[in-house]
Structure 1
Amino acid sequence: MTVTEERRAPASTPPPRLPHRLWALLRNSWRQLTSMRTALVLLFLLAIAAIPGSVFPQRSVNAERVSQYYQAHPDLAPWLERLGGFSVYASPWFASIYLLLFTSLIGCVVPRLLDHVRALRQAPPDAPKRLDRLPQSSPRWSRAGAPAEVARGIATGLRRRRFRTKLRQREDGSWTVSAEKGYLKETGNLLFHTALLAVLIGVGFGHWYGWHANRILISGNELGFCNTLTQYDDSTLGPRVHPADLPDFCLRLSDFDASFQDTGQPKSFSATVQVSQDNGPYETRKFTVNDPLRLDEANVYLLGHGYAPVLKYTDRYGVAQTKVVPFLPIDAMQTSEGVAQFPDVNIDPKTDKRDPALQVGFEGMFLPTAPTDGTARSIFPAENNPMLYLSAYRGDLGLDVGTPGSVYSLNQSQIASGDLKKVSGDRPYALKLGDTWTLEDGSKLEFIGTRPFATLSIRHDPTQTLALAGAVIGLLGLMLSLGGHRRRVWFTVQENAGLTGSPAESGGTLVTAGGLPRTDYPGFADEFKALVKAAEEGTP
């Protein structure tokens, strides 16, 4: 009986599965994003993207300057607004560069860190068979002693020079010494990039949970302020900060001491303040430019100083008002500009009504040391010869129209429209300390004196310590990266085969050395010669 066996046709092998195009695109994009070259490009782009924040006024820093820019450049300003030019650091394109750099650094640092840890745990590789093919090698020489003893001595000398060493014995009885040095270079690279990550995290979270504000604080207990948004000249809160989260403290400027050199250059600034925290009693504190006032959850920095003239205005009905108005410096000699506005004057006692057309404002310059030739420029920043040059305006000051304006200048639109007119002459009137200026309607302005003021910046950055630590660690990592050079050296030690006239007859050994720099290291040749010489002489 014949049995017929049917052979089954082999099943057709499915074609190799092609990688999914989307997955391949994502994988290649991730590799490109996490490369060191991309990280450097993004870092460069971040630096370029920050330039507009220094060139154009930023709304978070000074909204008034943004309004002035709109007036000066009515065509360009709307385009800059659309591109985020007035809020660069909060714009989507700046945030995208920031986040891409952050992602790139994480994807670059983490794998390299794992590889570095694995490399530190591994022993240096065994010596290659042909040491003479390495960039640095030495002729074979002989030393007295057993191979194991000589190898241990060489390894001891290398360890004293801070080499990581590994002794190995081969099957033929010879010994090899593997040594490696320079891991601090890669450690420095990782420290630098990790520190850069820490700085980015610090800046990001500091923007979210931090806040800052500016305030001109005039000397006098009645002119102090407490830490509320309405008391600041300008302020910016982080997206995660609510006004109710601000710490509770109050400040009063008791004294301000400024000293100057003969050339007018400042020598020192020192502010003495009264501080109350959490509704507690006031205590006296002192701080300078380089030594800020440190409070709970806030630091107060001293940015500058100036003078606030004390002016007393008596209107046509004999009612007097006194104001202390800060004048802002415009040069190093404290030549200052400012304005004193008196909207609630010239109220008719018969009707007890205020006429907006009779409001009064004074605009001009203050010179702490006026020259004798009448020039409207101070010649020294200290108050040696204080002088006020003022122009008087009467009319509607424009304070009731509802639009924000500067408290350091008159409303120019009111002047342009004729609602606010200059009175008592076209030229500014000069007032020395104690002088009185009588206007054409019988009202008077008296220059009583001055008070110093301090320009303060109050800030809270919860990640300031992290950013500082990142900067210090980054500098340390950069130094290690630039100063470290990774290199390897090998020594093979074997028993002398009994050559005539050699130390083999007394149990000598033959030693061969080779070296390989893993990075560009011009001094490796000299170091290798020194290592070989020490091994020949048996010295550490």
Structure 2
Amino acid sequence: MTDLQQRPSDDRQATALPPDLTVRELGRWTWRQLTSMRTALVLLLLLAFAAIPGSVIPQEDIDSLAVSQWRDDHPRLAPIWDRLDLFSVYGSVWFSAIYLLLMVSLVGCIIPRLLVYARALRARPPRAPRHLSRLPESASYTTGDAPEAVLGRAADVLRGRRFRVEPDDGAVAAERGYLREAGNLVFHLAVIVVLVGVAAGSLFGYKGGVIMLNGEDYGFSNNLTQYDDFAPGALFDPDVMEPFSFSITDFQVDWLTEGQRAGMAREFVAELAYETEPGSGTKSYDLKVNHPLTIGGTDVFLIGHGYAPVITVRDGEGEVTKSGPVVFLPTNAQTFESFGVVKAPFARPEQIGLEGTFYPTFAMGEDAEGNLSMPGSIWGDALDPLISMSVWTGDLGVDDGSASSVYVLDKAGATQVTEADGRPFRLDLRPGETAKLPDGLGTVTFDGLERWNKIQISRSPGKLVALAGVVLALLGLLGSLFVRPRRMWVRARRQDDGTTLVEVARLDRSSGGDPEDGAAELAAVVAALQGADDDTTTSNEKEQQP
């Protein structure tokens, strides 16, 4: 009975749990985990993975038109993407959390290492080992000079080779290559600088886009009302916006004529006429891809172009209800086949909506049997332009003449116009042609063709800080890769026969050092101690090598 009664007690003692952590101990453990190099690497990897959706999925602050089109094409996925902030990845809570945790982790990881490195800079080289001959790279010789003279000459020789020298008891200790660890620290510090620069640009800067028609009749002024889409930083101040203005006076495109990409735009240039501020005088600039116009702290980029057919819509009463260029968005980057919408909300007796495709160089395709198939464009240049559109009437979702999107036709309350036999009615027009709509709805005229350019304007206050961080990172990486830390010791002691035994040893602390280079450096130091010239000794050693 006694054994049975004691056994449960023994089991409880064997399985006793450790005491709970106090709040201070838990905080210290959490801080150590967060500021470990392993955690910093994991967070850096997570940040890279988190940026992938921002590169794959269209972003609101970069191309709101592409986001609208993506929502229309994926009506089921769009609400899920919205909840996950995948259309605004870089401004989402989860991306910001990873970003901030990475900065805290790097700061907590690097600052202690900086303190350790500062102490290492003041530390003397380690004392000479007792048996220098046991080191992988060592040499010895005898001389009639006194040990003190040999050690003095050794200190001078090693200092001349940029070693840090400290006298030892009967020996000289030297070390070189402190900048290797400095390179590692500079690299990690540069990562923080880059993150700070990017964060400053995101907080205080802004980015916006506008589609501009070419010609002096169309202009842009740098204020909030002029943008098609605008993404300010969390701490953005509108007062920092430079009061410049510009217009696109001309646009030139160089088309590829040979190869598989024939018909694509190889290079395009928009000629700008701009003023840095009202009354400052007009200047000109050739705006190209990757060659932005910089005004103050703001950059103006050319990121795209397309066609804007000039269309006139007359209603059943003969009144012009829509006239002017209409922006069509490219759906094919090579042929510039484009999609667009024309709305005439004030047409009578019913509203008129047009939806269709613009072909810069129209051609009918052929199937394998030679029969005509789907139409298309075979060239990006407007050599034979044609516009093909369907017609809708009724409620187009337009309120007071304005629509939620000029690139989308709301057909929920509209009816498609058909032929007498019930087939959908289509307009196929070339420049200068007019088509009459059925049922006395009016006419549509394709008057001509204009061009448009997509301009992106951004201000990133931290870009120079980020650039400095990248340069520091490269310098630090070069230092950590090419600086080789190594130590050398020279010991001299008097022997019984009156001569002095000199022992020299070298220790390479880097894993990538060349053994031949180490042997050559050791031989050069020994030759210098014996009174020979360094360059002559090195040359003789190279001649003796097989």
- Classify 1:77/1:344 alpha carbon distance in 2 versus 1 (closer, same or farther; 3 Å): closer
- Classify 1:296/1:24 alpha carbon distance in 2 versus 1 (closer, same or farther; 3 Å): same
2:217 maps to 1:213: no
Match of 2:470 in 1: 471
Match of 1:96 in 2: 97
Match of 2:384 in 1: 385
Give the stretch that moved more between structures: 331-340 or 149-158. 149-158
Partners of 1:165 and 1:177 within 8 A in 2? no
Partners of 1:143 and 1:536 within 8 A in 2? no
2:527 maps to 1:528: no
Match of 1:512 in 2: 503
- Classify 1:248/1:68 alpha carbon distance in 2 versus 1 (closer, same or farther; 3 Å): same
Match of 2:3 in 1: none
Match of 1:366 in 2: 358
Once the two structures are superposed, the pairs formed by residues 103-142 of structure 1 within 5 Å of their partners are: 103-134=104-135, 136-142=136-142
Give the Cα separation in 1 of the matches to 2:64 and 2:383. 36
Q: Which runs of 5+ in 1 are unaligned?
A: 1-17, 347-354
Matched letter for residue 347 of structure 2 = V
- Classify 1:224/1:473 alpha carbon distance in 2 versus 1 (closer, same or farther; 3 Å): same
Q: By how many angstroms is 1:382 displaced?
A: 1.5
Once the two structures are superposed, the pairs formed by residues 29-428 of structure 1 within 5 Å of their partners are: 29-61=30-62, 77-134=78-135, 136-143=136-143, 145-162=145-162, 164-168=163-167, 170=169, 174=170, 176-243=171-238, 245-262=240-257, 263-280=262-279, 281-320=281-320, 321-331=322-332, 332-346=334-348, 355=349, 358-371=350-363, 376-400=375-399, 405-414=404-413, 419-423=414-418, 426=424, 428=426
Q: By how many angstroms is 1:521 displaced?
A: 3.0
Q: By how many angstroms is 1:59 displaced?
A: 4.3
Q: By how many angstroms is 1:86 displaced?
A: 4.0
1:440-487 Cα offsets, whole Å, 9 max, x none, are: 327322222211211111101110111111122212222222223322
Partners of 2:327 and 2:340 within 8 A in 1? yes
Give the Cα separation in 2 of the matches to 1:69 and 1:328. 13
Give the Cα separation in 2 of the matches to 1:266 and 1:201. 38
- Classify 1:34/1:233 alpha carbon distance in 2 versus 1 (closer, same or farther; 3 Å): same
Matched letter for residue 511 of structure 1 = V
Matched letter for residue 518 of structure 1 = R
Provide the secondary structure at the position in 1 that maps to 2:375. coil
Give the Cα separation in 1 of the matches to 2:62 and 2:288. 23
Match of 1:433 in 2: 431
Give the Cα separation in 1 of the matches to 2:153 and 2:222. 71
Give the stretch that moved more between structures: 261-270 or 212-221. 261-270
Q: By how many angstroms is 1:316 displaced?
A: 2.8
**CA-atom RMSD in angstroms:** 2.9
Give the Cα separation in 1 of the matches to 2:142 and 2:256. 75
1:34-87 Cα offsets, whole Å, 9 max, x none, are: 221111111112222233334445444455666666666666555554444444
Give the Cα separation in 1 of the matches to 2:50 and 2:81. 14
Match of 2:368 in 1: none
Identity score, percent: 38
Give the Cα separation in 2 of the matches to 1:439 and 1:144. 115
Match of 1:21 in 2: 22
Partners of 1:152 and 1:167 within 8 A in 2? no
Give the Cα separation in 2 of the matches to 1:271 and 1:253. 6
Give the stretch that moved more between structures: 324-333 or 483-492. 483-492
Provide the secondary structure at the position in 1 that maps to 2:452. strand
Matched letter for residue 289 of structure 1 = V
1:130-178 Cα offsets, whole Å, 9 max, x none, are: 22343x242432245443443344444444444x2315263xxx3x232
Partners of 1:216 and 1:456 within 8 A in 2? yes
Give the Cα separation in 2 of the matches to 1:496 and 1:392. 110
- Classify 1:72/1:283 alpha carbon distance in 2 versus 1 (closer, same or farther; 3 Å): closer
1:313-338 Cα offsets, whole Å, 9 max, x none, are: 23333333421111111111211111
Partners of 2:125 and 2:166 within 8 A in 1? no
Matched letter for residue 534 of structure 1 = A
Matched letter for residue 96 of structure 1 = A
- Classify 1:516/1:24 alpha carbon distance in 2 versus 1 (closer, same or farther; 3 Å): farther
Partners of 2:289 and 2:303 within 8 A in 1? yes
Give the Cα separation in 1 of the matches to 2:28 and 2:39. 15
* TM-score (ref. length: structure 1): 0.83
- Classify 1:384/1:110 alpha carbon distance in 2 versus 1 (closer, same or farther; 3 Å): same
Give the Cα separation in 2 of the matches to 1:413 and 1:401. 18
Give the Cα separation in 2 of the matches to 1:290 and 1:57. 20
Match of 1:459 in 2: 458
1:21-43 Cα offsets, whole Å, 9 max, x none, are: 32222223222222211111111
- Classify 1:445/1:81 alpha carbon distance in 2 versus 1 (closer, same or farther; 3 Å): closer
Give the stretch that moved more between structures: 274-283 or 148-157. 148-157
- Classify 1:401/1:148 alpha carbon distance in 2 versus 1 (closer, same or farther; 3 Å): farther
Partners of 2:508 and 2:518 within 8 A in 1? no
Provide the secondary structure at the position in 1 that maps to 2:417. strand
Provide the secondary structure at the position in 2 that maps to 1:248. coil
Partners of 1:257 and 1:271 within 8 A in 2? yes
Partners of 2:117 and 2:181 within 8 A in 1? yes
- Classify 1:268/1:57 alpha carbon distance in 2 versus 1 (closer, same or farther; 3 Å): closer
Give the Cα separation in 2 of the matches to 1:432 and 1:72. 29
Provide the secondary structure at the position in 2 that maps to 1:138. strand
Give the Cα separation in 1 of the matches to 2:178 and 2:425. 75
Q: By how many angstroms is 1:276 displaced?
A: 2.6
Give the Cα separation in 2 of the matches to 1:514 and 1:252. 73
Q: By how many angstroms is 1:201 displaced?
A: 0.8
Give the Cα separation in 1 of the matches to 2:396 and 2:37. 60
Matched letter for residue 438 of structure 1 = K
Q: By how many angstroms is 1:98 displaced?
A: 1.5
Matched letter for residue 369 of structure 1 = T
Provide the secondary structure at the position in 1 that maps to 2:466. helix
Give the Cα separation in 2 of the matches to 1:178 and 1:20. 47
Give the stretch that moved more between structures: 365-374 or 327-336. 365-374
